[in-house]
Amino acid sequence: MATFVMLGKYSQKSIKDISAKRTEKSLELIKKNGGQVISGYALLGEYDLVLILELPSSEQAIKTSVELSKMLGIAFVTAPAVSMEDFDKMMEV
């Protein structure tokens, strides 16, 4: 499984609909797409939340990001992430 970081920004409408029930639906969608949440945090600053996910592929990451945006009204920036250990191995000459 590949790791992905999703940074989210609430819209004015989506912030009004924050609830544990909506969070649970989001987790179900991620699981349906073959993924799992490693961690998630609410943020202060440019982005309102961050999710660290494992998903089977980039295609599943794109699908999950778009489906979550449509369902929640939250704009996501989704990017692949590589562990520092794997990054160091890639950089070895």
pLDDT band at 82 (very low <50, low <70, confident <90, very high): very high
- Supply the pLDDT for residue 40: 97
Residue 68 pLDDT exceeds 80: yes
Looking at the domain covering 2-91, what would its CATH class be? alpha beta
Q: What is the pLDDT of residues 14-62, one digit of tens each?
A: 999 899 999 999 999 999 999 999 999 999 999 999 999 999 999 999 9
- Supply the pLDDT for residue 52: 98
- Domain ranges for the chain: 2-91
Q: Token pair for residue 87? A: 């990054």
Cβ-proximal residues to 36 (8 Å cutoff; 6+ apart), any chain: 1, 30, 53, 54
Q: What's the start-to-end Cα distance of the chain, in Å?
A: 26
- Supply the pLDDT for residue 7: 98
Residue 93 pLDDT exceeds 80: no
- Supply the pLDDT for residue 51: 98
Residues in the chain: 93
